[in-house]
Structure 1
Amino acid sequence: MAPLVGTWQLWAVLAAVFAALTAIFAKIGVANVGSDFATFVRTIVILAALALMLTLTKGWQSLSTIQPRSALFLVLSGLATGASWLCYFRALKLGDAARVAPVDKLSVVMVAVFGALILGERLSAMNWAGVALIAAGAILVAR
């Protein structure tokens, strides 16, 4: 039996968690920033995190026009995106794409839950039924 860290399921679930946090942090961070500029900032953060990983094996890298709160959440969103991508590609390397991708899409379920808990968003009973079906579908495909 492979250790948990070597399973595609762990990496796919971690990818889903970080993808869900990406949406939540971006929603907060983009509040007073244009969406294209917010995406640009997020992308810079992703590149820096990947560059840091490369820095550990030999790597490199001031933005002052963004309000501190927005900057904080855009940075957090970028970090969550990078973590999601790393976990997703690790899961793809270890497992079948047809099984990894649906587990990764559990981020849709997590965004609904995090959106309700963190952002105070309200979903109808029909919406929650859809969220439950997404979760059930991802679990069934992964098994």
Structure 2
Amino acid sequence: MWWLYALLSAFFASLTAIFAKIGVSNVNSDLATAIRTIIILIMAWGIVFFRGENKGLQHLSKFSLIFLILSGMATGLSWIFYFKALQMGKVSQVAPVDKLSVALTIILSVVFLGEALTLKTAIGAILIISGTLVLIL
């Protein structure tokens, strides 16, 4: 079932790129990121409260909270740079280059999380990196 959520994520990420490119056409990219972030904030907390999951707040460990904060900071920086790239470049180039994060995540998951690197995953990462280089050069 994880793959269904991953496919939905990919679909909505592609819509994000299209909508964002249109949205940043006459707007400062940082302002556009801030507006997008407010919408995401409202949606995420709405889902948490609607499903009654806010009760989990009291059970968060400091460790989890620190890494969720770091993840949020990384997401924010990613969005800021993504919107700036969209404003300056073609969405058909920016979005695929942004997906280099997939290959980087594979590498970082091996280094920091100790996940096994299979031949199939390594080949996939190499192809992603190669494709990114083709788009950039």
TM-score range, shorter chain: 0.5 to 0.7
1:103 is matched with 97
Q: What TM-score comes out, normalization by structure 1 length?
A: 0.54
- Residue 125 of structure 2 corresponds to residue 131 of structure 1: yes
Higher relative contact order (CA 8 A, sep 6+): 1
2:88 is matched with 94
- Residue 102 of structure 2 corresponds to residue 114 of structure 1: no
For 2:68 and 2:84, the matched residues in 1 are separated by 24
1:70 is matched with 64
RMSD, aligned CA: 2.0
Amino acid at match of 1:132: I
Q: What TM-score comes out, normalization by structure 2 length?
A: 0.57
1:79 is matched with 73
For 1:141 and 1:93, the matched residues in 2 are separated by 17
Deviation at 1:106, TM superposition (A): 0.5
**Structure 1, gaps ≥5 residues long:** 1-42, 48-62
Deviation at 1:85, TM superposition (A): 0.5
For 1:102 and 1:65, the matched residues in 2 are separated by 38
Instruction: Determine helix, strand or coil for the equivalent of 2:114.
Output: coil
Instruction: Determine helix, strand or coil for the equivalent of 2:116.
Output: coil
